[in-house]
């Protein structure tokens, strides 16, 4: 008999949380905290917030990490699930797409939900760059350089950002610094307005020198930063360059996690529906200018959804480097200070723990959707090391207006 075609299901973002992000290094607040404990804390918080979700109904736990060794290794999705107290019947796995790790954890499991293999999943990411610096333990195949598959600068993310400045000379250091200051200001405003703390999970910390503590706020922000301050910073990737510690994300520790579900399952269980997945795309670009990746990824995701950039009412763009975000904005004709972009600030201010950041973008977009019922579609996008980009388009279930019913 002919097989009946599979009916795809709508996938929704139920809730997301994250730890406060810390500064990597011996003086950072997570210097003596395990990486896996950070993501375990996020999973436990999701379960605490949603007692209506039976733990045994969770079908998968997908956790991303870029450096999958030490306290970020051993199939961290499975071990974190066990240590978080989920039933032993709940499976888990680890995933790596560098900075796009958590985003890929979401899209991979979302596809399985749409197909019908899963009903509810937990997806997230963790990166403890203090314990595991980017590139720790890797052994790049010499053919990559010897056969000129990529330029050597492709393996140094800051150098790829300098290359992007070369490609787009209209994006000056002064413009990048101004964007970075705006990111700091927007995050400070978001904290002042109580928009950040609701998604943060307090984390107990330990220091042999200072004893026990409690992390409740992001450690990297520098409120009050000025363009004049940033103008004095060194350019470590190139003499007289344009990329500095002030207009780029720092080295950070942190974790994120979210609950995804089939919309019908969420309704049955009484879970909130905070966003609805529309489309997503990952693309490859020249590794030497990996920061341009979100541009073709967004174009591909828009095409798959039958939308245009004008349909997007909110943008959450990961600020690995200011130049990378500005290249995206210029391509799509969006002003540097467009209020739709990174309303709560971005990674330049609050940090970028590599594989964790994708879910941070989604959690912030979900919060903004609640405050913007006039917006129907939002975008989360980021650049990814070794020349890739990822983009996910979401629909606002809180949409009001003449076409609100069409969004159901």
Chain position carrying tokens 């990329």: 243
Q: How far is CA 384 from the centre of its chain?
A: 11
Phi and psi, residue 280, nearest 5°: -155, 165
- Alpha carbons 300 and 285: distance in angstroms, whole number: 13
The length of the chain in residues reads 408
Chain position carrying tokens 């989360």: 380
Active-site residue identified among 42, 50, 99, 258: 99
Pairing of strands 92-95, 252-262: unpaired
Q: Per the structure block, which two tokens stand in for 138?
A: 């890797």
Active-site residue identified among 50, 165, 352, 398: 352
DSSP string, 16-55: EEEPPPEE-STTSTTTTS-HHHHHHHHHHHHHHH-TTS-G
- Alpha carbons 60 and 39: distance in angstroms, whole number: 15
- Alpha carbons 230 and 234: distance in angstroms, whole number: 9
Chain position carrying tokens 């030497």: 288
Cβ-based burial of 139 (10 A; exposed 0-12, middle 13-18, buried ≥19):
exposed
- Alpha carbons 156 and 288: distance in angstroms, whole number: 9
Active-site residue identified among 42, 132, 258, 383: 383
- Alpha carbons 191 and 64: distance in angstroms, whole number: 27
Give yes or no for a contact between 261 and 113, defined as CB atoms under 8 angstroms apart.
yes
Q: Per the structure block, which two tokens stand in for 18?
A: 């994250």
Q: What residues contact 299, with CB distance under 8 A and at least 6 apart?
A: none
- 258 has catalytic annotation: no
- 42 has catalytic annotation: no
Active site residues: 99, 352, 383
């Amino acid at each position: 008999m002919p097989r009946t075609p599979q009916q795809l299901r709508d996938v929704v973002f139920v809730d997301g949380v994250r730890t406060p992000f810390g500064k990597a290094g011996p003086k950072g607040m997570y210097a003596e905290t395990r990486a896996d404990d950070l993501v375990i804390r996020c999973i436990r918080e999701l379960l605490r917030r949603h007692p209506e979700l039976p733990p045994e109904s969770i079908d998968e736990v997908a956790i991303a990490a870029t450096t999958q060794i030490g306290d970020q290794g051993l199939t961290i999705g499975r071990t974190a699930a066990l240590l978080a107290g989920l039933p032993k019947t709940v499976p888990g796995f680890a995933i790596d797409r560098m900075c796009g790790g958590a985003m890929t954890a979401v899209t991979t499991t979302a596809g399985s939900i749409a197909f019908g293999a899963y009903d509810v999943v937990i997806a997230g990411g963790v990166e403890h760059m203090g314990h595991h610096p980017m590139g720790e333990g890797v052994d790049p195949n010499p053919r990559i350089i010897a056969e000129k598959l990529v330029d050597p600068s492709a393996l140094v993310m800051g150098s790829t950002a300098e290359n992007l400045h070369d490609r787009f000379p209209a994006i000056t250091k002064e413009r990048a610094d101004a964007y970075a200051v705006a990111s700091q200001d927007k995050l400070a405003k978001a904290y002042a307005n109580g928009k950040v703390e609701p998604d943060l999970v307090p984390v107990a910390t330990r220091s042999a020198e200072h004893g026990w503590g409690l992390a409740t706020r992001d450690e990297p922000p520098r409120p009050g930063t000025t363009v004049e301050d940033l103008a004095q910073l060194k350019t470590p990737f190139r003499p007289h360059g344009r990329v500095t510690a002030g207009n780029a994300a720092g080295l950070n520790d942190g974790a994120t996690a979210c609950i995804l579900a089939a919309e019908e399952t969420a309704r049955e269980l009484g879970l909130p529906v905070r966003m609805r997945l529309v489309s997503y795309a990952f693309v490859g670009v020249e590794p030497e200018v990996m920061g341009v990746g979100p541009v073709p990824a967004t174009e591909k995701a828009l095409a798959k959804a039958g939308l245009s950039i004008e349909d997007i009412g909110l943008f959450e763009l990961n600020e690995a480097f200011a130049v990378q975000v500005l290249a995206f904005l210029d391509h799509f004709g969006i002003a540097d200070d467009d209020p739709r972009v990174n309303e709560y600030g971005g990674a330049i201010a609050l940090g970028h723990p590599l594989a964790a950041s994708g879910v941070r973008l989604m959690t912030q977009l979900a919060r903004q959707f609640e405050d913007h019922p006039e917006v129907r579609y939002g975008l989360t996008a980021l650049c990814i090391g070794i020349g890739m980009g990822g983009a996910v388009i979401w629909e606002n279930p809180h949409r009001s207006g003449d076409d609100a019913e069409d969004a159901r």
